[in-house]
Structure 1
Amino acid sequence: MSKYVKELVTRDLKRRLDGVTDAVTVTCSGMDAITTNELRGELEAKNINMMVVKNSLARRATEGSSIAPAFEGTSGQIAVLWGAEDFVSLVKEVVRLDKDSAKYGKFVAVGGAMDGEGLDQDAVKAISKWPSREEQLSMLMGQILGPGANLSAAMLGPGRMLNSQIKKKGEGDEE
């Protein structure tokens, strides 16, 4: 590849990855076209972008960016994935696809970058066990609403007891 072509490809990669702060890298070399197309469709349905790049060109394009550490120590052709609702959701989907060896056997999570720090394969799997943004919001709402519900129950409890006693007394007089 000539120097001019490399510069054009690098500029295009830089433009496409502009604004991407967190990404996961995977290897998917050797997958046939039909399987790759199915994989891309499945990822697109979850708002995840996938781009297969040459490792050295990706390093040149991301030099100085927050996702540059994702390409350190990698070799050959690599796919970069970014997007989804949040980074944890992206990682969960990548690890799920990595485990689905029957369908996507050659799809293997290699690493990534989060907040400017490089991630290895083990770190990616550890992040997949974190709660996603949606799960964190539901836990936060439970913590916010929990004390109010307890207070409400404590305040209404004696009133309900008094109400039931008055009702019993009223039913006893009718007979």
Structure 2
Amino acid sequence: MNREQKTAAVKEIAENISASEAVLVVDYRGLTVTQAAELRGQLRDSDASLTVAKNTLTGIAISEVGETAEPLRDFLAGPTALTYVKGDVAAAAKAITTFAKANGDLPSFKGGVMDGKQLSPDEITAISKLPSREALYGQLVGMVASPITGLARSLGGLVGGLAIALAGVQEKKESGEIPSGDAPATASAPAEDGAAEGDAGNEADAAASADESGASA
């Protein structure tokens, strides 16, 4: 590897570290090429990638990234592969843990870093046992939707019950079980008002006739 290639490799490592939610360091000794390819395929589902890196180049890249990557320096001994996790950290840790159980404990965790904090192998294993981000989202949606569903059912029951009650009242009215009710008392009011107005008009005409007679006399 010439100088230009080393510079490009350091830049790539630094960019991947900076863009990752977490970086998990594993010892890949004992893994075959086929097994490594299979693990990479499984990690892809978690938006993670596994890359074998030279410790010296990784050390330079760590210096370029700065303080948040410094915890990784403690793990740069022996064969080293970096798992750049840009998606779900728990899912990526679970993928490696599950794969290792099925392949003679290969690879093994050296440690890692997340949010600038160093992770021990035991801490990574603990993270692997957490629910995935998708599972947590599903649980949250279920918790939020549950009371809303209950409210919708209650409202639906209330509206349905009201409709049934009104239909029952209508049927009883049609059968005569419930009287339809007398006509309103105000129905004859306009006629009475008209008669009163007629009487008042007649009285006014009589008074006017009397006044005219008196004047002519």
TM-score, normalised with respect to structure 1 = 0.74
Name the residue aligned to 2:107.
107
Runs of 4+ residues over 6 Å off in structure 1:
162-168
* Change beyond 3 A, Cα 1:40–1:137: closer
Name the residue aligned to 2:19.
19
Name the residue aligned to 1:125.
125
CA–CA distance in structure 2, aligned partners of residues 62 and 40 of structure 1: 23
Moved more, 121-130 or 12-21: 12-21
Contact 2:75 2:111 in 1 (8 A): no
Name the residue aligned to 2:154.
154
- Decide which of 51, 74, 77 is 1:75's aligned counterpart: 77
State the shift of 1:21 in Å. Answer: 3.8
Is 1:135 paired with 2:135? yes
Moved more, 47-56 or 108-117: 47-56
Moved more, 29-38 or 92-101: 29-38
Instruction: From the two aligned structures, give the one with the greater helix fraction.
Output: 2
Secondary structure of the equivalent of 1:72? helix
State the shift of 1:94 in Å. Answer: 1.5
CA–CA distance in structure 2, aligned partners of residues 167 and 92 of structure 1: 60
CA–CA distance in structure 1, aligned partners of residues 132 and 144 of structure 2: 18
2:155 maps to a residue whose letter is: M
Secondary structure of the equivalent of 2:130? coil
* Change beyond 3 A, Cα 1:16–1:153: closer
Secondary structure of the equivalent of 2:80? strand
1:28 maps to a residue whose letter is: Y
* Change beyond 3 A, Cα 1:57–1:43: same
Is 1:91 paired with 2:93? yes
Q: Which runs of 5+ in 1 are unaligned?
A: none
State the shift of 1:160 in Å. Answer: 5.1
Name the residue aligned to 2:196.
none
2:120 maps to a residue whose letter is: D
Secondary structure of the equivalent of 1:77? coil
Secondary structure of the equivalent of 1:109? strand
Name the residue aligned to 2:192.
none
Instruction: From the two aligned structures, give the one with the greater strand fraction.
Output: 1
Secondary structure of the equivalent of 1:62? helix
State the shift of 1:13 in Å. Answer: 2.8
Name the residue aligned to 1:55.
55
State the shift of 1:83 in Å. Answer: 3.3
* Change beyond 3 A, Cα 1:61–1:43: same
TM-score, normalised with respect to structure 2 = 0.62
State the shift of 1:60 in Å. Answer: 2.5
2:102 maps to a residue whose letter is: D
CA–CA distance in structure 1, aligned partners of residues 154 and 131 of structure 2: 32
* Change beyond 3 A, Cα 1:21–1:84: closer
* Change beyond 3 A, Cα 1:77–1:65: farther
Moved more, 114-123 or 33-42: 33-42
State the shift of 1:165 in Å. Answer: 8.3
Q: Which runs of 5+ in 2 are unaligned?
A: 176-217
State the shift of 1:120 in Å. Answer: 0.5
Report percent identity of matched pairs: 25
CA–CA distance in structure 2, aligned partners of residues 40 and 153 of structure 1: 47
* Change beyond 3 A, Cα 1:37–1:131: closer
